[in-house]
Structure 1
Amino acid sequence: MMYRIFVINPGSTSTKVAVYEDEECVYAEKVEHSVQDLEKFPDIMDQYLFRKDNILSALKKVGFHEEDFDAIAARGGILPPLESGTYLVDERMVDYLLHKSPVKHVSNLAAVIAFEIAKGRIPVYITDPVSVDEMIPEARLSGIPEIERKSLSHALNIRAVCRKVAKMLEKDFNQLNFVVAHLGGGISVAAIRNGRMIDVNNANDEGPFSPERTGELPVGDVVRMCFSGKYTKDELKKRYVGKGGLVAYLGTNDLREALKRAEKDDYAKLIVEAMAYQIAKEIGGMCAVLCGKVDGIILTGGMAHSEKFTEMIKAYVYKFAPIFIVPGEFELEALALGALRVLRGEETAKRWGGS
């Protein structure tokens, strides 16, 4: 039996959609939403009906209708901590994403839109949302009891590339240990032990600096900035997430531009090399978390397209484990395959407990 799955992954001003027939993508499109239209909605979650209508119009233009699908696979939003896997979307999850999620993030829209389209006729699933949390207890401690380390990462793509490399090795993902570095606008470096993500840096405020984020900072200097009177809370937050990293040093979030400048500019070269150095240091730390028993180091995300940059990282860590380069992101595919495994009975969909 062939299963047809509709996939939804919202972005800030667009929604990526795809149709999969089993493992094959037969249609993919980025449905654009104008800034003027989105500005009409005071809250990001108010956009869901508008985006739903845009998505269905795009589908109908290429001959697909709601009744053509066996399931809808949606990007997981900001939920409370939960195990990896594929979850059935229900009324409780939709209510949480609409009204209770601590972060008003565009990813929260996906399951809400999908549930509205499905209207109970077909199942809706999410797979490996940002809040996947399988940290071991010792990874949670920050140094003071009031602050606990949080698992917020590029879990969907991290686990997707682990499955790809496991298939390449002809081994069971759940019996392998990997260190995975997702290299995008934010950077997540995760330790995967027997298929579980036992430690990962929070891509917003830990780990290496990235094209747009500062990563870890000396806490004493951060405190001084907070009380200097020069910045509001929102301005400081933007300095750390959005205007940090390459943007702060070089005025660009484009690694390609930074590398081009580095060919002639020693300062730009230093900054790019420092980012590679910090990534490698984080990878080394995760190798230690796995006690040196590492089946592979995987470099993925947009920056992994750059051979020059990945070679900088590999120069530090090549002795630790075999290195696999899996550039780009595979979110639409990962969502479709998560739903497909459930439809085929290879996995059982989990039920979210609510909060």
Structure 2
Amino acid sequence: MNYNILCINPGSTSTKIALYNGTNLVFNDNIEHTSDELTFNNNELKYRVNIINSTLSKHKVNLLDLSAVVGRGGLIPNIHAGGYIVDNALKQLILSGKLSPHPSNFGALLADEIASPLGITAYIYDAVSSNEFDEIATITGFPEIKRESLCHVLNMKATGRKIAEKHNKKYEELNLIIAHLGGGISIGVHKKGKIIDAIRDDSGPFSPQRSGNIPLMYIIDICYSEKFSKEEMQKKIRGFSGIKAHLGTDDCRIVERMINEGNEKAKLIYEAEAYQIAKGIGEMAPVLNGKIDYIILTGGMAYSKMMTKMIHKRIEFLAPVEISPGENEMEALALGCMRILKGEEKASVWKKK
């Protein structure tokens, strides 16, 4: 049976909407938004619902033909990887205001807004906060602080499955290190189908927009300098640092053009990012005792042959390197939902701890 699955991925500046018939993509639209349109409240929810309905109308989608709706999962506590049914408990949690206001939290609400009137099930899949960490990976030098799993789960796991299939293997059979290279960079250790450890986007390599790991004493000095508010520091770390702070752009295509025109500073900064990414991947190798089947580079920056070549030469001694550019998030949502509908996976129900 070819299921018709509507996929919804709300971002900080866009709403991505895709329809799949089985594994076939029917359409994939990316609607851009201005900051004035996004306020993370009920008005934004209604605004995005209207956008989705208009898009479905534009593509002449018969809503009665939909089998399920799946949204991107957000920063939800007490959740593991895979699918979850969007029920009242999950919706109330998101609407409570207790969660960090990340746009991905809207994924569950938007899916339910479309699915509920049709009498079909809404799901989320591979939420950002999916936690499969080994306990040892959660321990820090502060007893009151535990490391949490926050990484690009959706794309990482989808890409892991894709590379496994390429080699006639199952994702659950392999040990992988997967680096998602985008506006933010995260690196996950995938052991037999679970992400047992990860470097999140604020504790590893700097990226086009983010600072990555900075020595704590410097951060303490800046925070107590009274030069920046808490909000300004958050924006500085996520959005106004990394390559953008060094070179005035977060567009790697522009950076590479600068390098090709002989800009030595751009060359040094770009090489430094590749150097830090390679170090991050190397840092993860001991988690698997060096028994790594493949290292995978994915995300938007993986389209850059210049970047992947610099990383590759530093890590190829660890394991075979696979490059799988792009984010694949809409396909990942569709395929995950399809596995649930086919009975290959079972969707969970969120429960308060």
Pairwise TM-score range, normalised by the shorter structure: over 0.9
- Confirm whether residue 89 of structure 1 aligns to residue 71 of structure 2: no
Q: Contact 2:78–2:351 at 8 Å: present in 1 too?
A: no
Query: Which residue number in structure 1 is paired with residue 74 of structure 2?
Result: 77
Q: Contact 2:116–2:122 at 8 Å: present in 1 too?
A: no
Aligned length: 351
What displacement does 1:95 show? 1.2
What displacement does 1:354 show? 3.2
Partner Cα separation in structure 2 for residue 178 and residue 100 of structure 1: 36
Q: How high is the TM-score relative to the length of structure 1?
A: 0.95
> Cα gap change, 1:18/1:190 in structure 2, threshold over 3 Å: closer, same or farther?
same
Aligned residue type for 1:252 = T
Aligned residue type for 2:9 = N
- Confirm whether residue 218 of structure 1 aligns to residue 206 of structure 2: no
Aligned residue type for 1:99 = S
Partner Cα separation in structure 1 for residue 286 and residue 120 of structure 2: 44
Spell out the pairing of 1:1-355 with structure 2 (5 A cutoff): 1-33=1-33, 35-36=35-36, 38=37, 43-119=40-116, 121-203=119-201, 205-263=202-260, 264-354=262-352
What displacement does 1:33 show? 4.2
Aligned residue type for 2:135 = P
What displacement does 1:17 show? 0.6
Q: Contact 1:111–1:124 at 8 Å: present in 2 too?
A: yes
Q: Contact 1:56–1:65 at 8 Å: present in 2 too?
A: no
SS at match of 1:119: helix
Partner Cα separation in structure 1 for residue 234 and residue 342 of structure 2: 44
Please report the RMSD computed on the Cα atoms of aligned residues, expressed in angstroms.
Answer: 1.4
Partner Cα separation in structure 1 for residue 101 and residue 28 of structure 2: 26
Deviations 1:54-73 (A, max 9, x none): 21122112211322201001
Deviations 1:128-186 (A, max 9, x none): 11001111112112211122212111110000000000101111111110000000000
SS at match of 2:28: strand
SS at match of 1:280: helix
SS at match of 2:195: strand
Partner Cα separation in structure 1 for residue 44 and residue 108 of structure 2: 13
> Cα gap change, 1:81/1:274 in structure 2, threshold over 3 Å: closer, same or farther?
farther
Q: Contact 2:78–2:352 at 8 Å: present in 1 too?
A: no
Q: Bigger CA drift: 215-224 or 23-32? A: 23-32
Aligned residue type for 2:347 = A
Aligned residue type for 1:150 = E
Q: Contact 1:280–1:316 at 8 Å: present in 2 too?
A: yes
Partner Cα separation in structure 2 for residue 290 and residue 107 of structure 1: 30
What displacement does 1:127 show? 0.9
Q: Contact 1:157–1:329 at 8 Å: present in 2 too?
A: yes
Partner Cα separation in structure 2 for residue 241 and residue 12 of structure 1: 13
Partner Cα separation in structure 1 for residue 130 and residue 26 of structure 2: 29
Partner Cα separation in structure 1 for residue 56 and residue 149 of structure 2: 35
Q: Bigger CA drift: 52-61 or 276-285? A: 52-61
Partner Cα separation in structure 2 for residue 151 and residue 44 of structure 1: 26
> Cα gap change, 1:280/1:273 in structure 2, threshold over 3 Å: closer, same or farther?
same
What displacement does 1:101 show? 4.1
Q: Contact 2:177–2:190 at 8 Å: present in 1 too?
A: yes
Partner Cα separation in structure 1 for residue 11 and residue 211 of structure 2: 22
Partner Cα separation in structure 2 for residue 62 and residue 241 of structure 1: 36
Aligned residue type for 1:139 = A
Of all paired residues, the percent bearing the same amino acid is 43
Q: Contact 1:44–1:106 at 8 Å: present in 2 too?
A: no
Partner Cα separation in structure 2 for residue 235 and residue 156 of structure 1: 29
Deviations 1:246-288 (A, max 9, x none): 0111111111211221231211111111100000001011112
SS at match of 1:342: helix
Deviations 1:201-233 (A, max 9, x none): 121x20110011111111111111111121111
SS at match of 1:107: helix
List alignment gaps of at least 5 residues for structure 2.
none
Q: How high is the TM-score relative to the length of structure 2?
A: 0.96
Q: Contact 1:71–1:122 at 8 Å: present in 2 too?
A: yes
SS at match of 2:103: coil
Partner Cα separation in structure 2 for residue 314 and residue 344 of structure 1: 38
